[in-house]
Structure 1
Amino acid sequence: MSSIFVVLLLGTGLALGLVAYRSITQIVDSSNESVLKSGSKFAIAHTEAVFAPANTIVEQLANASAMRSRTLRGRLQAMPLLISGLELSENITSVYVGNEEGDFLLVRRLPKDPDLAKTFDPPDGTAYIVQSLERSEGGDAAGHFLFVDRKGRVIRFDERDDYTKYDPRKRGWYNAALGVDALIATDPYLFFTTREIGTTVARRGSYPEDLVTVVGADITLNTLGQAMAGIRPTPHSQIMLLTRNGEIVAHADPEKVVTIKADGSPAPRRIDTLDDPRIDGAFDRFVGQSQKAAAQNRFTEQGSEDVWEVAFESVPIRGGRDLVLAMTIPRSELRAESTRLVLQGVVLFIVLLIVGVILVIYIAGRVTQPLRQLQALAEAIRRFDFSKTDEVRTPIAEIEDLARATSMMQDTIRRFLEITSTVAAEEDFDKLLDRLLDEIIATTQTEAGILYLTTPDGKYLEAQAQRLDARRDLPVSVPSVALSNTDSLLIRSIADEHAESAQASELELNRIGLPDIAAVMDDAPSFLLAAPLYNRQGELVGVLLLFETTEMEPALVRFTEALSGSAAVTVEARQLIEMQKELFESFIQMTASAIDAKSPYTGGHCARVPDLTKLLAAAADKSTDGPFADFSLTEDDWEAIHVAAWLHDCGKVTTPEFVVDKATKLETIYDRIHEVRMRFEVMKRDAEIAYLKSVTESGGSDEKRSALEQELAQLDADFAFIASCNVGGEFMTDEQVSRLNDLAKKGWTRTIDDRLGVSHEELSRKEREPKKSLPAVEPLLADRLEHRFERPETEKLDCDNPWGFKMDVPELLYNRGELHNLLIRRGTLTDEDRYKINEHIVQTIKMLEKLPFPKHLRSVPELAGGHHEKMDGTGYPKGLTKDDMSPVARMMAIADIFEALTAMDRPYKKGKKLSEALKIMTFMVKDRHIDPDLFNLFLDARIYESYAEKYMPPEQVDAVNPDDYRVKVGG
């Protein structure tokens, strides 16, 4: 029945809508025809209003006797009349008179456009410009410009020779007016001075027997365009005034009236340049058939998005050729009113239909509403939307039972998800267990609970969480339960591998070690429920124990078993996370231990820098004002700092210790000064042998003995000098360098092949040079090809390397030339050695970037790899500036420097006292090597004191006033 009613309503509404639409469309079409006609009439009337003042003034001036004067003075008497003619209409731009003798007088307004006015160079106060041309009987012409104020007074009189070339008798308006005894109007054209479309109205003087004159006036048509914009019947309609050859005279958009030609000159725009084929094609058809008796002036054109109605009307011009009014209107806008009325009818029809449908639905809904509620509830559960809690009321018992079961299912799923989301949001494992137990107690609606976990040895159950309902702690000491205690309810549930319930008798409570639990609970427990927790491998994780005051139904037991499975997976997952963190931490400590075993002082450095960095980070985190007021650290940030600080020098595991510990210039795996000493010993023995041979051959003498002793003493002195250079303590002078070069040239005799018993790598290096015949005289200090270790291609860095390193890489891996090393001016390291030491930070970044850090630790490579960067961008390995570095990376740089300055376990230097270290760091701040804000925080928080108490011996800690070292930021 309801379907038939709906069909009847729909059919009636459609029929009424069609009839109404046709009627309204006819009415609107008729109205639109009236709109087109009224627009045409308005445009014609406005055009006549533009021309009328000019026609009037020209007729008056044609009869004025002053216009027939043969002198300038006489013609100027008519200037007030000319000015009054200008004031009749703003469309009149100039009024003028020319005669048969070539004389000419023109009065124009000073142009409003400043640029146009400037071309006349008018004096202040100028309102009108009078242009005069006077010819004598001999044909000589004189041109004058008169600048006149609003009262007609001449302000300035200029002679203008350039104006004498103008001859009114050669102008079109002059000759056109001579031919008829009536007013004439020229075709619209572009005025040169104002670049506006206009026309000229002219008439021959009334007394040609005295002197033939022609009076004219220039009219602008720009107000016609404004009128076009005002009479548009619809928003997207277009109205324009055209000549019959297609030139646009007036348009609502002024930019569509004038165009710029290729040579830069302006010209009237033609209709075919508008890129509008709708009006262009219709205009051609209108002009082509306009001579017929019944010319068509209405056209329909198809556009890209709409159908357009195009209409044309002729606009008569007195004394000139007619203009054409063109109007285009989109049909959709013409019929918008009919569409609106039809829509109103449709809305009314829909309202009536809705009312009828509602009546039908209301009756059926009384029966089907509960089913729809259940359907909506089931759909919400499918989308995991548990916000719907409306109670389903129905007199049908079966539907009510279904509603109750669905609601219980919704609550169960919601509680499971709440437990999952709550547990997932907790990061602290200890807090996690409390929250997990709270959610289980709330979900099962029990009174209290204890969560036991197995001990690592698998022998006991230890309570890890104990809670009352309402999320309170259970204030009782819970003992561990041995897994061998088979009498306990906990162990029985494990043995049966499912949840077990029992009465909370005194015996049962004693077996689990909780005889006094009733005293700390709001209500004494009557029943216990134990559910074992197993992980995914079936291994026992723990036991869940719940306390209740009423008997537990089987449904609650099964529900608890299901919850225990979810809880076991959660506990296992969090235990795995904790184990992974512990494993990762052990790897960190193992790396530090490896560095420590490799070089003890480096390992100490790795342990001390984290403490310093954390002290500085904590101080910045606590700041409530100053540059670190907005600085704060999360738990994830602290973990990243911990990892980065411990691993900031992990790349040192790749740095050879003979480079790091290079205490002398000749030291590699061992100190090669011993080889040099042995050469001196050989040279001394050679000297003694030579002396003994001389004594044997020619006898001994005091002179020979003295010479030997001098030579031996000189050799001892030379070696002592070389040994002192090897230490590298002081800067080497040019004299010392020269002496070393001289000593290097001394020779010693080698009689044994130096390629015997060496490794194949050393042998390949020696083979770079030809083998010497024995005995061979060798230089005392040599720089051989075998001392040059080539750098592998894999260790070279391109400018566009993926890590962004900006370091000058030496060509060689090592240069162990003896003379080359001894000639080091200061210190003990060659460029290759220094790069090898600095390269540890390169290796650190490479190693850390290869590690698959989780998202919150992805900043570790940046934090660990920036402690050798400087605030001015001169550090390494990337040349970062302060703005390129995070605050923590800058903190680590300060920690690394302070630890290095004060460390007492360096083999190559002594640790600085506290004051000395701070003074050096002050200079580093001034040199823009370290962050001044962090250094001041380092002083203000007295971090150096906390560090000194823990790591520095008393004799190294001297009195320090932090104000003596504080640096003014920006100063």
Structure 2
Amino acid sequence: MAQRIIKLYASEFPENEPFVSFFRRPDVKTVFLKNSNFFELKAPDEHAIFFVHETAFTSNLLRFLGYFDKTGKNLPLVIAGDKFEQSYLEHLFANRPFTHVKPAIGETELYETVLKVRAGQASFLPEHDYAKELQTARENIESLHKIGMALSSEKDPDKLLELILTQSRNIAGADAGSLYLLEGEDQLRFKLSQNVSLDWSVKENSALPINGHSICGYTAGSKVAVSLLDAYDIPATFPFTFNKSYDQKSGYRSKSMLAVPMRNKSGEVLGVIQLINKRADYESKTAGQTLALEMIRPFDHDDVELLNSLASQAAVALENSRLYQDIKRLFEGFVKASIFAIESRDPTTHGHSERVAELTIALAHEINNIHSGELAELHFDHKRLTELRYASLLHDFGKVGVREEVLVKAKKLFPYELDGLKDRYRYIQKSLESDFYRECLEYAVENGIERFQLIRPSIEAAFRARSQDVQETLDFLIRANEPTFLEDGSFNKLLELGKENHLGRDGLLTPMLTERETHVLSIRRGSLSEAERIEIESHVRHTFKFLSKIPWIKDLNRIPEIAYAHHEKLNGRGYPNHLSREEIPIEAQMLCVADIFDALTAQDRPYKPAVPLQKALDILRMDVDQNHINREIVDVFINRQVYRVLEGRMFR
């Protein structure tokens, strides 16, 4: 009789037949364990049998699977219930004998079944192919390693989410899946959904509260994974329900389900990965083909372990991606602040850097479509476009190192110099007036009033002529102060004025033009003297020095070089380094064309009017003929109408 004793470790069972009678048998010795006590059983009797009711098993599926995987692997297992078939449940157990019995079984039949289980004649006896199991374990480790590398190298947030969900489905063999990200402290944002059977991958944007009303909300709130054998039959111990509306609309059948939180190293939940319907035929699946119910399997303990590992890697990748995006936003803010600093010192060029960047990037996109000629070998991917954009935005940053009065100089004379010139000419006029009255007084005293009245008209005429001559000279100088082309006659007149002085009756000499005024007003074109032009041109060196101080990542390390060369000319007569065509980076040649076009068409330059569109394009052609800029680039710029990205904003 002692040999027939059956020792059981049993979960809680309903108080009905055949279980009540079975447990009362004298040769059935049962240790009833509530869930928490079950998992605390560290060293079960090696001759015992685990006997678990389906309700207890499904209510704590992951804990039971984890426990059975680690404890008493050789002990047989009997699960009683009628919600799932043996063929479905046995996919959960690869490490132990397993038998499934229905509640409708008679007490005697149940007893005989348990005897067979004890004798090693269970319905499901796993056959171990240890070599294959070892190979599978190695493949899983290798897959996780490759997935980890792929996740860590992906910086694009959208592509990263796609990769996380796709690899999660691949490693668990899931037909469908969804991905949610934490938003704030109390809700998830539904970001992505994939489904092989329905052949779709859809970006979502709906919110889901973190509470017990939904599977993913519960997973995020509890910070533990949830596995369901059937989403349509959720154990009563769970507070959530499953929304069948999607299945009803699409004709899909969601059955096995696994939801895993993505937690960082601090244990904080960043999101949830939800997988649906593990497929028996995953390796041979066909997108768009209906998934047969008999092909659906439950997610087993290995799936949970693998997905937990992947979710941890995904959380790290998400944090890295967010950090990368934060750094990008920080740098974008720095670039915008730099542009603001430039434009604050030179308000007349407001918007220039952004417009040049917009033109240059549009030009790069058009060059990508060129399939013949010098530019056919060029291709600007996302990394090169980013590098080119930053170089374009920061190409004038060195202007912060140029004196502000030179930077914003609209006329040949600085405003205070023009005011000084006008004040001096007012003094000369007053001096002429004073000399006129003194001459009149002296003549009247010496010759009498009557004779003075006779000569007075001629004295007044001479005074008016001298006064008018001084005013005309001042008017000429004010015109010469404009940054327009200075003709030879005007140039010579300025040189003569530079030699003249006004001599008052008091003996004081007042120059009609100072040496500085003569030099500056004699500028043939524009408003800058040679020294000032050199100072303005120094902004390129300042830009290079500034940008070279930034520890650029590899993808952006040519930004200083590109910005440095944007004023070079193909004939070697540009500045600051007089580079030849071969020495000028092609990106700098593109930037140069955009820079010239915007400078010509900008409507906010006080020292020159905006040039009409056609004339601006003609000037670009002239620069090509003079071997200043690249002909192929200008052809693309004009023929592909790259300039239209600014249409309605800048040119007419």
TM-score (structure 2 length as normaliser): 0.68
After TM superposition, the structure 1 = structure 2 runs for residues 811-830 of structure 1, keeping only pairs within 5 Å, are 817-830=516-529
Alignment of 1:245-264 (within 5 A): none
Aligned counterpart for 2:495 among listed residues 714, 738, 743: 738
How is 1:560-599 mapped onto 2 (pairs within 5 angstroms)?
Answer: 560-599=307-346
Post-superposition shift, 1:780? Answer: 5.1
2-structure distance, mates of 1:928, 1:609: 21
How many equivalent pairs are there?
Answer: 493
Residues 748 and 430 (structure 1), Cα distance of their counterparts in 2 relative to 1, 3 Å cut: farther
Q: Which residue number in structure 1 is paired with residue 208 of structure 2? A: 481
Aligned with 1:492 (options 211, 214, 218): 218
Q: Does the 8 Å contact 1:490/1:512 carry over to 2? A: no
Which residue is 1:675 aligned to? 420
Matches within 5 A, 1:416-435: 416-424=144-152, 426-435=154-163
Q: Paired residue for 2:611, among 912, 916, 922?
A: 912
SS in 1 for 2:194: strand
Distance, in Å, in 1 between the alignment partners of 2:419 and 2:631 is 47
Amino acid in the other structure paired with 2:363 = L
| C-alpha distance after superposition, 1:427-471 (max 9, x if no partner) | 43212211211111221233322111122x444211222223589
Identify which of 392, 409, 416 aligns with 1:645.
392
The verdict on how the C-alpha distance between 1:725 and 1:538 changes in structure 2, with shifts beyond 3 A counting, is same
Structure 2 counterpart of 1:921: 620
1:837 equivalenced with 2:536 (yes/no) = yes
* Equivalent residue, structure 1, for 2:69: none
Amino acid at match of 2:429: K
Question: What are the residue-to-residue correspondences of 1:580-659 with 2, within 5 Å?
Answer: 580-659=327-406
1:935 partner amino acid: V
Instruction: Indicate yes or no: 2:212 matched with 1:465.
Output: no
Query: Do 2:188 and 2:217's aligned partners in 1 also have CA atoms closer than 8 Å?
Result: no
Distance in 2, matches of 1:878 and 1:470, equals: 63
Whole-angstrom CA distance in 1 between matches of 2:166 and 2:129: 31
CA distance in 2, matches of 1:663, 1:541: 56
| Alignment partner of 1:894 out of 593, 602, 609 | 593
Q: Kindly tell me: are residues 653 and 947 of structure 1, through their superposed partners in 2, closer, same or farther at Cα, counting changes over 3 Å? A: same
The answer to whether the 8 A contact 1:499-1:560 is kept is no
Rate the CA distance shift 1:539–1:836 in 2: closer, same or farther, 3 A: farther
Partner of 1:545, secondary structure, is strand
Distance 2:605 2:540 in 1: 19
1:720 to 475, 485, 492: 475
Compared CA separation, residues 830 and 401, structure 1 to 2 (3 A): same
- In structure 2, the gaps of 5 or more residues are 1-126, 278-295
Alpha-carbon distance in structure 2 between the residues aligned to 1:683 and 1:655: 36
Q: Counterpart of 1:792?
A: none
- 1:520 to partner: Cα distance: 7.5
Match of 1:410 among 130, 138, 155: 138
> Counterparts of 1:829 and 1:748 in 2: how far apart (Å)?
33
Contact 1:722 1:740 in 2 (8 A): no
Give 3-state SS (helix, strand or coil) of 2:174's partner: coil
Give, in whole Å, the separation in 1 of the partners of 2:205 and 2:348: 48
Deviation at 1:871, TM superposition (A): 0.8
Name the structure 2 match of 1:855: 554
* Equivalent-residue separation in structure 2 for 1:673 and 1:546 (angstroms): 77
Q: Which moved more, 1:615-624 or 1:556-565?
A: 556-565
2:647 paired residue number? 949
Displacement after TM superposition at 1:876 (Å): 0.9
- SS of the residue aligned with 2:498? helix
Residue identity in the other structure for 2:402: T
Is 2:177 the counterpart of 1:449?
Answer: yes
SS at match of 1:922: helix
From the superposition, tell whether residues 726 and 950 of structure 1 become closer, same or farther in structure 2 (CA, over 3 Å): closer
What is the alpha-carbon distance in structure 2 between the residues aligned to residue 748 and residue 570 of structure 1?
85
Shift of 1:474: 5.3
* 2:395 and 2:543 in contact (8 A); partners too: yes
User: Relative to 1, partners in 2 of residues 1:617 and 1:479: Cα closer, same or farther, differing over 3 Å?
Assistant: closer
* Alpha-carbon distance change, 475 to 910 in structure 1, aligned in 2, over 3 angstroms: closer
Note closer, same or farther for the CA distance 1:452–1:838 as it changes in structure 2 (3 Å cut).
same
Does 1:534 find its partner at 2:295? no
Give the whole-Å Cα distance in 2 for the aligned partners of 1:907 and 1:739: 29
CA change 1:618–1:838 in 2 (3 A) is same
Look up the SS of the partner of 1:450 in the other structure: strand
**Aligned match of 1:686:** 431
Whether the 8 Å CA contact 1:532–1:540 is kept in 2: the answer is: yes
Bigger Rg, structure 1 or 2: 1
Counterpart residue number, 1:24: none
Out of 523-532 and 676-685, give the one that drifted further: 523-532
Q: Confirm or deny: 8 A CA contact 2:520 2:529 kept in the other structure.
A: yes
Instruction: Give the 3 Å change call, closer, same or farther, for CA 466–826 of structure 1 in structure 2.
Output: closer
CA apart distance, 1:662: 1.9
Deviation at 1:408, TM superposition (A): 4.7
Partner of 1:237: none
Letter in 2 for 1:480: A
Check conservation: 2:212, 2:240, Cα contact below 8 A: no
Q: Give yes or no for the alignment of 1:935 onto 2:634.
A: yes
Query: Which residues in structure 2 correspond to 1:309-348 (within 5 Å)?
Result: none
* Distance in 2 between residues matched to 1:522 and 1:568, nearest whole Å: 33
Query: Deviations 1:214-252 (Å, cap 9, x if unpaired)?
Result: xxxxxxxxxxxxxxxxxxxxxxxxxxxxxxxxxxxxxxx
> How many angstroms apart in 2 are the aligned matches of 1:510 and 1:894?
65
How far did 1:740 drift?
1.9
Q: Percent identity?
A: 27
| Alpha-carbon offset, residue 719 of structure 1 | 2.2
Q: Give the Cα–Cα distance (whole angstroms) in 1 for the partners of residues 166 and 597 of structure 2.
A: 48
Task: Tell me the SS of whatever aligns to 2:319.
Answer: helix
Q: Is the 8 A contact 2:155 2:324 kept in 1?
A: no
SS in 2 for 1:629: helix
In the other structure, the counterpart of 1:438 is 166
1:663 aligned partner: 410
Shift in CA distance, 876/738, structure 1 to aligned 2, threshold 3 Å: closer
Q: What SS class does the counterpart of residue 727 from structure 1 fall into?
A: coil
C-alpha RMSD of the superposition: 3.4
CA distance in 2, matches of 1:488, 1:623: 53
**SS in structure 2 of the partner of residue 617 of structure 1:** helix
C-alpha offsets along residues 676-720 of structure 1, whole Å, 9 cap, x if unaligned?
A: 211222233333334445555654731554444344333323322
* Structure 1 pair 934–563 and aligned structure 2 pair: CA distance change class (3 A): closer
1:664 positional shift: 2.0
CA contact 1:478–1:514 (8 Å) conserved in 2: no
Contact 2:171 2:306 survives alignment (8 Å): no
SS of 2:349's equivalent? helix
Q: Is the 8 A contact 1:468 1:521 kept in 2?
A: no
Superposed CA deviations along residues 336-378 of structure 1, whole A, max 9, x for unmatched, are: xxxxxxxxxxxxxxxxxxxxxxxxxxxxxxxxxxxxxxxxxxx
Paired with 1:680 and 1:475, the residues of 2 have a C-alpha distance of 78
- The 3 A distance-change label for structure 1 pair 438 and 732 is same
